[in-house]
Amino acid sequence: MSKLAYIETASEVDYLSTCTDYSGIDEWVFNPIKRELERLKDNLIFYKEVTANIYEMIKFVEKNIEICSDEKVAPIAPDLPGVTSSVHSELKHQNVVNRLLKEHSDEDSLLAAMEREYELGKLTPYEMDDILRRLKNKS
């Protein structure tokens, strides 16, 4: 499988849109993603299912680093057609995050509600971390 098949997602979020030299991609794309996943894993360690999912994502990123480090991969041809894009971001479940922050005044009930919402697929690990950071900043 080609290197491009595994880094297509990175180009979709504009990491690679103007680049034709992918040497060092692990340093400027995959290692920062891995560091963020490790941070999430450490912050959400008390949620076993979340931690297990994050471990899987880390393994995926590590596989991408391995593939991109492969010396046998053919170089990318320069002067390929390009695409211009713009990005707007919002949490996938922003309405759930807002509702939880509004409805739960004490930390224990908020943590329990977050776990329930995660198990129902209504919160992501990143969103859980965002809620915890907001809670910490309020204190």
Q: Average per-residue pLDDT in the chain?
A: 77
Interatomic CA distance for residues 139 and 124, integer angstroms: 23
- Residue 17: the pLDDT is 46
Residue 76 and residue 20 in contact, taking contact as beta carbons nearer than 8 Å: yes
- Residue 118: the pLDDT is 92
Q: Which long-range contacts (CB under 8 A, 24 or more apart) does 41-50 make?
A: 43/129, 43/132, 44/125, 44/128, 44/129, 44/132, 47/115, 47/118, 47/125, 47/128, 49/118, 49/119, 50/118, 50/125, 50/128
Residue, of 133 and 14, whose pLDDT is higher: 133
